[in-house]
Amino acid sequence: MTKPLRLGIAGLGTVGVGVVKIVRRQAEMLEMRTGRPVVITAVSARDATKDRGVALSGYAWESDPVALAKRDDVDVFVELMGGHDGAAKDATEAALATGKDVVTANKALLAIHGQALAETAEAAGQVIRFEAAVAGGIPVIKSLTEGLAGNEITRVMGVMNGTCNYILTRMEATGQGYNALFEECGRLGYLEADPNLDVGGIDAGHKLALLSSIAFGSKPAFDDVQLQGIQRIELDDIRHAADMGYRIKLLGVAQRSPRGLEQRMTPCLVPANSPLGQLEGGTNMVVIEGDAVEQVVLRGPGAGEGPTASAVLGDICDLARGLRIATFGQPATTLQEIPAAQTGLPAPYYLRLALQDKPGALAKVAAELGDAGVSIDRMRQYGHAESTAPVLIVTHKCTSAMLDIAIEALAKTGVVDGDPVALRIEEL
Ligand code: NAP
Ligand code: HSE
């Protein structure tokens, strides 16, 4: 009989249980497809007494994931605990040190320690796979490293955090504010243990850093991702964007230019009739552009037990078949350190200001924008009951650096309360 591929699974939460269920339910199919049995030999989680809704008695139990990672009867260490340090990192390192391949869904771990882990793995002849870490059930890493391997990638874009897309699309559909929908996400179990990872754009920023690395052959550089969360988006922004034919999305964009590597994960206005503009609820979408293929659009569930476990199984099946692709699609030692682009390509921007309602206030705003070289395309002032009026401005194309200068100057005019909200209008 062919040698089985033996899995040790650390983490039996949403994703871990999903993986156990598929391995049990689809044993015959997995063997047919990979040519060898795929079996679980040992599992680990914190609480050995918890009922997880799936039979675990046939597997050895390890309370310490590092011990699980070192077991002789494990070929592939499946890390599904989460966190960029602590148990996840220690156990992954232990697995690599004892000759195991690793499959993980942990974007934080790889965005921060991916370069070092990939170098360690490749020096030892081991493989790290992480399809489930980016855009849940969408096989985006497989698409980049395999199907699109013949392309020079020119741009990668996408909506990669389902929670943020759920909040933004529900704000528009229901007229509820950000806070009410944030609380709804908590009740529905959508939020990460630290919700700022979702709404602060960090989770999606981790994912973008990983895709950038594969797409552009660069060392993963999460610290270079320009991040902005969705916490300051108001219903007025969503309504005004809709009036102009746009939707607001937490959009990731990565592209390489002579200025360096641009990576941003920020709320942007995108055309409402574009595939990204039409994306509803917790669904994710990744758009990949390459010199030969032109454009590929991938859409699917970005989270949840089934979709995420589906991606983990894709990696496990590749290992069972003997497919061994370098972590970031090329040897980790050949990844380049590409400097971060200091300023993005010019684009129109949407600006919302709280303007004091007094004579000459608007003229001061127009003057400061003009002095910074920022030209106004459209402007609207909404009705208001307080001493400040919401003023919404769409600029002609300018750079983010020009806009930053204007915003800094606006703060000194004495007629603008608080920090303006500035959102890039992305041309797709
Ligand atoms: P989860 O439901 O919170 O489960 C985490 C599991 O890890 C739990 O079983 C927990 O044990 C175990 N664990 C945590 N620390 C441990 C430790 N020190 N030692 C042993 N076990 C430990 O998390 P999840 O949603 O399944 O996510 C797992 C990973 O997948 C994360 O990296 C996450 O970012 C990633 N991911 C998740 C999704 C998703 O939709 N949920 C999607 C894409 C990627 P106990 O159960 O005993 O507490
Ligand atoms: N918190 C993530 C999201 C889960 O909302 O998309 C999957 O990474």
Q: What's this model's pTM, rounded to 2 decimal places?
A: 0.96
Residues 160 and 102 in one domain: no
Domain membership flag for residue 379:
yes
Structure tokens at 48: 């050995």
Residues 145 and 119 in one domain: no
Q: What is the mean pLDDT of residues 142-163?
A: 97
- What's the CA-to-centroid distance between 138 and ligand 1, angstroms? 19
378 Cβ below 6 A of ligand 1 = no
Domain membership flag for residue 338:
no
Residues 153 and 279 in one domain: yes
Give me the CATH number covering residue 117. Answer: 3.40.50.720
Residues 199 and 163 in one domain: yes
Domain membership flag for residue 41:
yes
Give me the CATH number covering residue 214. Answer: 3.30.360.10
- What's the CA-to-centroid distance between 72 and ligand 1, angstroms? 24
Residues 36 and 85 in one domain: yes
Q: Which residues pair with 38 in a beta bridge?
A: 5
284 Cβ below 6 A of ligand 1 = no
Atom of ligand 1 nearest to the CA of 305: 40
Domain membership flag for residue 310:
no
- Is the pLDDT at 16 greater than 90? The verdict is yes
Burial class, 244, CB count within 10 angstroms (exposed 0-12 / middle 13-18 / buried 19+): middle
As for how many domains the chain has, the answer is: 3
pLDDT tens sequence across 264-281: 999 999 999 999 999 999
141 Cβ below 6 A of ligand 1 = no
Domain membership flag for residue 312:
no
Domain membership flag for residue 342:
no
* Residue type present at position 60: A
- Is the pLDDT at 1 greater than 70? The verdict is no
* Residue from 130, 163, 194 to probe ligand 2 pocket by mutation (most atoms less than 8 Å from CB): 163
* Residue from 9, 15, 185, 210 to probe ligand 1 pocket by mutation (most atoms less than 8 Å from CB): 15
Residues 127 and 231 in one domain: no
Give me the CATH number covering residue 379. Answer: 3.30.70.260
The whole-number pLDDT of residue 23 equals: 98
Residue 385 pLDDT level (bands cut at 50, 70, 90): low
In angstroms, how far is CA 156 from the centroid of its own chain?
12
Domain membership flag for residue 340:
no
Q: Which domain covers residue 67, as residue numbers? A: 5-136+324-333
Query: What are the residues whose beta carbons fall under 8 Å from the beta carbon of 269, sequence distance 6 or more?
Result: 241, 244, 246, 247, 248, 350, 423, 424, 425, 426
The set of catalytic residues is 207
Residues 293 and 148 in one domain: yes
203 Cβ below 6 A of ligand 2 = yes
Domain membership flag for residue 306:
no
The whole-number pLDDT of residue 188 equals: 84
Residues 67 and 153 in one domain: no
The neighbour count for residue 278, using CB atoms within 10 Å, is 15
pLDDT tens sequence across 96-123: 999 999 999 999 999 999 999 999 999 9
* Residue from 84, 107, 134, 308 to probe ligand 1 pocket by mutation (most atoms less than 8 Å from CB): 308
For residue 86, the ligand closest to its alpha carbon is 1
The whole-number pLDDT of residue 191 equals: 85
pLDDT tens sequence across 327-383: 999 999 999 999 999 877 899 999 999 999 889 999 999 999 999 999 999 998 877
Which protein residue's CA is at the shortest distance from atom 23 of ligand 1?
Answer: 13
Residues 256 and 167 in one domain: yes
Gap between the Cα atoms of 108 and 92, Å rounded: 13
Who wins on pLDDT, 193 or 325?
Answer: 325
Which protein residue's CA is at the shortest distance from atom 7 of ligand 2?
Answer: 303
Reading phi first (left if > 0) and then psi (alpha if -120 to 50, else beta), residue 173 is in alpha
Atom of ligand 1 nearest to the CA of 106: 32
Residues 295 and 358 in one domain: no
Residues 212 and 290 in one domain: yes
- What's the CA-to-centroid distance between 229 and ligand 2, angstroms? 14
Residues 186 and 70 in one domain: no
Mark 87-105 as b/e (b = at least 16 C-beta within 10 Å).
bbbebbbbbbebebbbbbb
Q: What is the mean pLDDT of residues 31-55?
A: 97
Residue 412 pLDDT level (bands cut at 50, 70, 90): very high
Query: What are the residues whose beta carbons fall under 8 Å from the beta carbon of 199, sequence distance 6 or more?
Result: 163, 164, 167, 182, 229, 230, 231
